[in-house]
Amino acid sequence: MAKLIDFNSLVLMIIATIALFHSYVVMGMTSSSMYVNWGAHHCKLLGDDLQLVLDKSAGSGAQSKRSFHFGSFEMLIKLVPNNSAGTVTTYYLSSIGTKHDEIDFEFLGNISGQPYIIHTNIYTQGVGNREQQFYPWFDPTADFHNYTIHWNPNTVVWYIDSIPIRVFRNYQFKGIPFPNQQGMRVYTSLWNADDWATRGGLVKIDWTNAPFIATYRKFRPRACYWNGPMSISQCAIPTKTNWWSSPLYNKLSANKLGQMNSMRSKYMIYDYCKDVKRFKGVMPIECSLPQY
């Protein structure tokens, strides 16, 4: 009987350890999950709301308190209204270092009456150059919209209001790097990028419109915490807790695929995989492989 009790205790200890490695955030205020990392003198993080400000003195930004490895990362964002030319608002995942991984949403401002450009990119081992850009099919300054990055061992999917707009699939077995070896934090920022953001830098920021304000709300990182290299395998196991890694999320459903194809056909304005001139005819390997 003593041996049986010891064995059961050991099992409970193992289960508790696994649960610790797989801990994730379901609910909670944005302020409990993030902190302002620059420009704190003129931006606000209170409860579930984060307000970033850009003026001549500085921009501002915030980041998550924890690093993650795989999961679903949701944020409601309302972008800078009116003449936002030269400004860039961001929401992205990133590790640190010269060989960092990164998954981007960037919102390139424009002059009044012109649409924003939704800029997406993915870096692996410090190398990006995988840009795809879209016009929004709504006014992103009039109300909040949900921007979600879904990241698992098989794929990265960018969503807007639950509609997928882009997929990047894991083809490591073909020699294409995939972001699965580093933990990443979530970052937000609003900054001056008028040397490139609007028409390649031709349109500069009109500071008479300052301060520029972008508002973030209800950050929801339903994700696996990064606890060092052990998380590379622990967070990839398709358990009930690690729901993002289940076979259900290995590919888009027929309905989601139809939504994405419709959005891309109407609103995509740039795809690196079609920029033959940029790559001098030697296209990235993934461009010849199905992504969804």
Active-site annotation, residues: 102, 106
Measuring CA to CA, which residue among 174, 186, 119, 178 is closest to residue 152? 178
Q: Where are the beta strands (DSSP E) in 55-130?
A: 60-64, 68-78, 87-94, 102-108, 117-123
State the sign of the Cα–Cα–Cα–Cα dihedral 165, 61, 244, 146: negative
- Over its C-alpha atoms, the chain yields an Rg (Å, rounded) of 20
DSSP 3-state helix, strand, coil percentages of the chain (rounded to 5)?
A: 20, 35, 40
Structure-block tokens of residue 268:
């995509």
- DSSP letter at 173 equals G
Measuring CA to CA, which residue among 127, 153, 184 is closest to residue 251? 153
Cα gap 25→27, rounded to integer Å? 6
Measuring CA to CA, which residue among 257, 285, 27, 24 is closest to residue 157? 257
Residue type, 157: V
